[in-house]
Chain A
Amino acid sequence: MNGPRVFAAVLGKDLRLDLRSWDRLGPMAVFAALVMVLLSTALPTASAASPGWIPALVWMVFLLTSLLGLGRSFQAESEQGTIVLLTQAPCDRGWVFLGKATANWLALLGVELWTAFLCWVLLDVEWGVAWPEILGVGLLGALGLAVVGTLLSALACAARFPVFLLPVLLFPLVLPVLVLASRMTGEALAGDQIASAMWVGLALYDWVFLLIAYFVFDYVLED
């Protein structure tokens, strides 16, 4: 069983690199903080007066911040030539994808927590109202972004203009995540019950793209 070993090796390596260099997490954290400060000063009133659009705003900030980190995921491998090592892993290359996507997911969860903290401080958003639901939405939403973002990051690094290509491909594909996660977060903040169809929709999106990415990754890694 080479697959689980390859998954663990890739995940461990990516986490070690993230925590050592802060090449990805640092710029993401600074970017999120800057945008939130700008929003908190530019917005006319406190969030509590208009909670309807706050979740969409937060998820947009999170999406834009994620883009910085997701883009680096394979760009760094490509620049150092280390993508060869991943391509030569002695198993189905889908396991490499799972390792990279899990590392990205964990990085995005860290950024999500940071963004939530900034929202609480700067926009007075009370996450504690329905924290289990919000945690669930955060986990599933970040998973969707990580899965699609990891796949597209690998695709984009082979292109001539990866910085341009990644957002062009990512934004339309993650629109369902953005819409569902924003609405679910809004309902949770308003104290309403989140419809089960929304949970199923978000989980299904993650699962379908996870399967697609796992099976096409073999071809994505090759030239």
Chain B
Amino acid sequence: MNVIETRQLEKRFGTVRALDRVSTTLPEGSTTLLRGPNGAGKTTLLRVLAALTRPTGGEVRVLGVNPFGADGAAQRSRLGYLGQETALYGELTLQENLEFYARLHGVDPDRIEFLIHELELEGVAGRRVQTLSLGYRRRAGLARARLTDPSLLLLDEPWNGLDAEASQQLTHWLEQHHKAGRSALVAAHSPSAGTGLFDAEIRLERGRLLGTES
């Protein structure tokens, strides 16, 4: 089964084609690198797959359903998305941010404690996010994306802003995610930290699919 399927997928912003007839698949259990230079369309593709941006043409299926269709809403908890922004409320503490997301998705609060411990965020869990360093905010964003224990992860430049230790931790955790038979699509233009992690690669340039390698 494919967790992602796109056929002639197109996204235009005015006269600009951010995605130009992209057709690709992502098999279940794979950890795939989405690669391309700045402006290649990586972020747009991830946002379409996460149902944040509606495509202007073509077809898309994520976890077996059209994310913009009637069944799409119920699938959103099975999907973990982390964009280039960490998507956390600066005025709330890290713990409160995770509690809000857990409530939104009906997640057991015990999982918050588990992730805070696993990502070594105990020391800063009670602090307001606006007072945290970028590295801690990225870690907190990761904890948020993993809160629902998603079947499919969509990560946009996840190593940005992480120090060497946190980068290794992320790579290690992505390996665990892979071993558990779950899928991930990770956008990066220079994924040095994740070398050896990916079992497939999708290359985009100027919105077009240049190729897929396994």
> Chain A residues in contact with chain B, CB under 8 A?
2, 5-6, 8-10, 12-13, 16-17, 20-21, 23, 80-82, 84-85, 87-93, 219, 222-223
Q: Which of the 9-residue segments B51-59, B183-191, B201-209 touches chain A?
A: B51-59
Please name all residues of chain A whose beta carbon is closer than 8 Å to the beta carbon of B76 when the two chains form the complex: 88-90
Q: How far apart sit A25 and B76, CA to CA, in the bound complex (Å)?
A: 33
8 Å CB interface, B96-134 against A: 96, 100-101, 103-106
Asked if B6 CB lies within 8 Å of chain A CBs, one says no
Please name all residues of chain A whose beta carbon is closer than 8 Å to the beta carbon of B100 when the two chains form the complex: 9, 12-13, 85
Please name all residues of chain B whose beta carbon is closer than 8 Å to the beta carbon of A6 when the two chains form the complex: 104
A-B CB proximity, top 6 nearest: A81-B85, A9-B103, A223-B53, A90-B76, A90-B77, A81-B87
Which chain A residue lies CB-closest to B48?
A: A223
Q: How far apart sit A223 and B75, CA to CA, in the bound complex (Å)?
A: 19
A222 with B74: CB separation less than 8 A: no
Q: C-beta contact mask, B188-204 vs A, less than 8 Å → 1, else 0?
A: 00000000000000000
Q: How far apart sit A85 and B92, CA to CA, in the bound complex (Å)?
A: 15
Q: How far apart sit A219 and B76, CA to CA, in the bound complex (Å)?
A: 16
Q: How far apart sit A74 and B94, CA to CA, in the bound complex (Å)?
A: 21
Please name all residues of chain B whose beta carbon is closer than 8 Å to the beta carbon of A13 when the two chains form the complex: 89, 92, 100
A84 with B52: CB separation less than 8 A: yes
Question: Shortest Cβ distance from B25 into chain A, in angstroms?
Answer: 23
Please name all residues of chain A whose beta carbon is closer than 8 Å to the beta carbon of B104 when the two chains form the complex: 5-6, 9-10, 85, 89-90
Please name all residues of chain B whose beta carbon is closer than 8 Å to the beta carbon of A21 when the two chains form the complex: 91
A80 with B96: CB separation less than 8 A: no
Q: How far apart sit A220 and B87, CA to CA, in the bound complex (Å)?
A: 19
Please name all residues of chain B whose beta carbon is closer than 8 Å to the beta carbon of A10 when the two chains form the complex: 104
B51 with A80: CB separation less than 8 A: no
Q: How far apart sit A90 and B91, CA to CA, in the bound complex (Å)?
A: 24
Can you list 16 pairs linking A and B with CB atoms under 8 Å apart?
Answer: A2-B73, A2-B74, A5-B103, A8-B103, A12-B103, A80-B87, A81-B86, A84-B81, A84-B85, A87-B51, A88-B81, A90-B75, A90-B104, A91-B73, A222-B51, A223-B52
A84 with B87: CB separation less than 8 A: yes
Q: Which interface class (under 10, 10 to 19, 20 to 34, 35 or more) fits B?
A: 20 to 34
> A80-B89, A84-B87 in contact; A90/B47 too (CB < 8 A)?
no
Tell me if A's interface is mostly helix, strand, loop or mixed. helix
Q: How far apart sit A139 and B108, CA to CA, in the bound complex (Å)?
A: 37
Which chain B residue lies CB-closest to A87?
A: B52
Asked if B90 CB lies within 8 Å of chain A CBs, one says yes
Question: Shortest Cβ distance from A159 into chain B, in angstroms?
Answer: 14
Q: How far apart sit A89 and B77, CA to CA, in the bound complex (Å)?
A: 8
Which chain B residue lies CB-closest to A219?
A: B54
B105 with A90: CB separation less than 8 A: yes
Q: How far apart sit A2 and B105, CA to CA, in the bound complex (Å)?
A: 8
> A84-B52, A91-B73, A223-B52 in contact; A17/B81 too (CB < 8 A)?
no
8 Å CB interface, B4-58 against A: 47, 50-54
Q: How far apart sit A80 and B92, CA to CA, in the bound complex (Å)?
A: 12
- For the A-B complex with A81-B83, A85-B100 known, give 19 more contacts whose Cβ atoms are closer than 8 Å: A2-B74, A2-B106, A5-B106, A9-B103, A17-B89, A21-B91, A80-B85, A80-B87, A80-B89, A82-B87, A84-B85, A84-B87, A85-B104, A87-B51, A88-B50, A89-B104, A90-B74, A90-B76, A90-B104
Q: How far apart sit A81 and B47, CA to CA, in the bound complex (Å)?
A: 13
Question: Shortest Cβ distance from B94 into chain A, in angstroms?
Answer: 14
Asked if B170 CB lies within 8 Å of chain A CBs, one says no
Q: How far apart sit A10 and B106, CA to CA, in the bound complex (Å)?
A: 13
B81 with A82: CB separation less than 8 A: no
Q: How far apart sit A17 and B86, CA to CA, in the bound complex (Å)?
A: 18
Question: Shortest Cβ distance from B157 into chain A, in angstroms?
Answer: 13
Please name all residues of chain A whose beta carbon is closer than 8 Å to the beta carbon of B101 when the two chains form the complex: 85
Asked if B174 CB lies within 8 Å of chain A CBs, one says no
Asked if B143 CB lies within 8 Å of chain A CBs, one says no
Which chain A residue lies CB-closest to B148?
A: A90
Please name all residues of chain A whose beta carbon is closer than 8 Å to the beta carbon of B83 when the two chains form the complex: 81, 84
Q: How far apart sit A16 and B103, CA to CA, in the bound complex (Å)?
A: 14
